[in-house]
Amino acid sequence: MKTLFKTCLLLCLFFVASCSKDTDDDEPEVHNYFMVGDTEYNLQAAVLEYGGSANGSILFDGYLYSLVMYSGGLVYKDLGSEGWTLSGEGNILQFFMFSDTGLSLEAGRYDFYPDEPYPTGTFAFGLYVINWDSAEDDSEAGDLIVSGRVTVAISDDIYEFTIECTGDSGIDVCGYYKGAVRYLNTYNTNAFVSKILKEPELWHFNP
């Protein structure tokens, strides 16, 4: 299935088996994953991309972040003056979120909010992509996430994300991630809001 994911991802990079998962600090390894319906997909790493402040924008309040969680097989590549991009093959779960602070994504609950201006404590939308291949610009499946919540907890430098959402097709999208998160400050906010927040239909995946 050819998708528009590669083009949209480049634009934005420039600038629990249930919906909850209990963890035990004594466990040697945390199980990070997301589920689409009854199918589970592994998550290996996460990146938090800072998109800047509203700075008078009529589209959103506070500070914009993109949370990108992804599986093994994918890596972030530094393209120098052109920013960063994901490369390789794997699964991706991403949310566009609005926080009260520009220092980091603030702990708390982020609910889906459908209309601009997007207030803090919300996400505009999310997306998931299954078996995406950057070389072929091809994926097995994917959808927008247009309902639900993402809960964020922070302890020292460890982030914990609990995802309880629904995709545009009506399928439950749930997940859990706990671990260190890489921070990037690479967004061009003006390009981001004009190409993504105002045109979310770009993120639909065509069979």
Tokens 């996460």 label which residue?
46
Task: Answer for the pair 94, 49: CB distance below 8 angstroms, yes or no.
Answer: no
Per-residue pLDDT of the chain (207 residues; tens, 9 = 90+): 444 444 344 334 433 333 444 444 555 578 999 999 999 999 999 998 888 787 777 788 999 998 999 998 888 776 665 566 777 888 999 999 999 988 889 999 999 998 888 999 999 989 998 887 776 665 668 889 999 999 999 998 899 999 999 999 999 999 999 999 988 876 544 444 444 454 544 443 332
Determine the pLDDT at residue 152: 98
CA-nearest of 188, 36, 15, 29 to 126 is 36
**Residue ranges making up the domain that contains 177:** 5-203
Determine the pLDDT at residue 28: 59
Determine the pLDDT at residue 6: 44
Return the C-alpha torsion angle 55, 57, 62, 68, nearest 10: -110
- Paired tokens of 107: 């702990």
Q: What is the DSSP letter of 82?
A: G
Question: Does residue 160 sit in helix, strand or coil?
Answer: strand
The per-residue b/e assignment along 151-163, b for 16 or more CB within 10 angstroms, e otherwise, is: bbeeeeeebbbbb
Whole-angstrom distance, CA of residue 194 vs CA of residue 204? 17
Domains in the chain, number: 1
Max CA-CA distance within the chain?
46
Determine the pLDDT at residue 95: 94
